[in-house]
Amino acid sequence: MISYIIRRLIMLIPVLIGMSIITFSVVHAIPGDPARTIVGDKATPAQIQEIRENLGLDKPAYIQYFTYVKDILRGDLGTSLITKQEIAKEIKPFLAATTELAVVAMLIAVFFGVNLGILSAWKQNSWFDYTAMLIALIGVSMPIFWLGLMEQWFFAQELDLLPSNGRLDPRMEFDAITNFYSIDAIIQGNWYAFQDAILHLILPAVALGTIPMAIIARMTRSSMLEVMRSDYIRTARAKGLGEFWVVYKHTLKNAFIPVLTVVGLQLGLLLGGAVLTETIFSWPGVGRYIFDAINARNYPVIQSGILILATIFVVINLIVDLLYAWVDPRIQYGKGD
């Protein structure tokens, strides 16, 4: 197992290097004159020159790259062109907001996805199965930004049930400690704020969680169906175990390995979906941070925002792989992928 972990980590090195080259290119390999593109058409020569020096664009490409990597390794993610703040510091509350949203979205996706999948497999070919799988199919086909807009329109505008923007009622006085608002509210014993934070989470989390939910439901169903045909399930039934125990204990336990992988991969993909969801719901997360940066031509922020999300994505994938190997001893560590 340890040699597998080490091998997996070594394989990560070229990936990280490649990633850094791509994010580096976002600013430094803009075709034409990067400085002019970044500042925009109306810039004065002095402004262009300032940007050029600021970002080191006047130096040879390889020096620019090594400086970039050195800065990242020191934890320096550059400076925002708009706020003039250090990105590494500025991004923290955004990162917490994204994490909170992604975790809640994933909880929704896993809870509904797994249960829908189980029930569908259990009642295979029933109307419930067909309806659930149709919903799942529509779920994978739905552009999440459109789903988000529809939610806003229906639940916020028409029914006026749920808030559609931001993380909290802006009139509320609230001190962020960890920047996970729901946790902060509990720490402070502010139940009104807690309730409000949760209400604000519902719409974006459902939008973000829909695709993973649909994929998890389909995966759980097919995985359950496979396991249910196996001998030990027949034995369990023969022993006279109740159907509920057979399904939820015996089958689920063994059907969960492929589901776990999907959950991990989807958690990573949520980070990409966050850009769209956060944009729609004005959720102040990294996705929204990147979107605003795109519109403001704030290239260093685009660059570092993408780098951070991609790094988290890679780390999650690594954890999933290791978990997978740990949960399923049949995986051979010694051989290649």
Q: Under the rule (CB under 8 A), what is the footprint of another protein?
A: 11, 14-16, 18-19, 22-23, 25-26, 29-31, 37, 137-138, 140-143, 145-146, 149-150, 152-153, 157, 218, 221-222, 225, 268-269, 271-273, 275-276, 279-280, 290-291, 294-295, 299, 302-303, 306, 309-310, 313-314, 317
- How far, CA to CA in Å, does 327 sit from each of 254, 262, 322? 10, 14, 9
Residues 18-55 as b or e (16 or more Cβ within 10 Å = b): ebbeebbebbbeeeeebbbbbbeeebeeeebeebbeeb
**Are 38 and 30 contacting, i.e. CB atoms less than 8 angstroms apart?**
yes
**Are 91 and 80 contacting, i.e. CB atoms less than 8 angstroms apart?**
no
Q: Give whichever of 78 and 273 is closer to another protein, judged by the CB atom.
A: 273
* Closest CB 199 distance from another protein, rounded Å: 19
Q: Give whichever of 79 and 98 is closer to another protein, judged by the CB atom.
A: 98
Q: Give whichever of 181 and 291 is closer to another protein, judged by the CB atom.
A: 291
* Closest CB 47 distance from another protein, rounded Å: 19
Q: Give whichever of 87 and 185 is closer to another protein, judged by the CB atom.
A: 87
* Closest CB 323 distance from another protein, rounded Å: 18
**Residues sharing a CB contact under 8 Å with residue 318, sequence separation 6 or more, in sequence order:** 8, 9, 12
Q: Give whichever of 228 and 275 is closer to another protein, judged by the CB atom.
A: 275
Question: Which tokens belong to 215?
Answer: 């994929």
H/E element, 209:
helix 191-228
Q: Please tell me the distance from the alpha carbon of residue 3 to that of residue 6, in angstroms, as a whole number.
A: 5
State the CB neighbour count (10 A cutoff) for residue 334: 7
Q: Give whichever of 176 and 265 is closer to another protein, judged by the CB atom.
A: 265
| DSSP-derived secondary structure for 19-43 | HHHHHHHHHHT-SS-HHHHHH-TT-
**Are 98 and 180 contacting, i.e. CB atoms less than 8 angstroms apart?**
no
* Closest CB 317 distance from another protein, rounded Å: 8
* Closest CB 151 distance from another protein, rounded Å: 11
Q: Give whichever of 151 and 184 is closer to another protein, judged by the CB atom.
A: 151
Q: Which residue, 31, 9, 161, 186, is CA-closest to 100? A: 186
**Residues sharing a CB contact under 8 Å with residue 85, sequence separation 6 or more, in sequence order:** 79
* Closest CB 147 distance from another protein, rounded Å: 8
* Closest CB 223 distance from another protein, rounded Å: 10
* Closest CB 290 distance from another protein, rounded Å: 7
H/E element, 255:
helix 252-280
* Closest CB 133 distance from another protein, rounded Å: 8
Long-range contacts for 112-116 (Cβ within 8 Å, ≥24 apart)?
Answer: 112/209, 112/213, 112/217, 113/212, 113/213, 113/214, 113/215, 113/216, 113/217, 113/220, 114/216, 114/217, 114/220, 114/252, 114/259, 116/213, 116/217, 116/220, 116/221
Q: Give whichever of 187 and 319 is closer to another protein, judged by the CB atom.
A: 319
Q: Give whichever of 197 and 267 is closer to another protein, judged by the CB atom.
A: 267
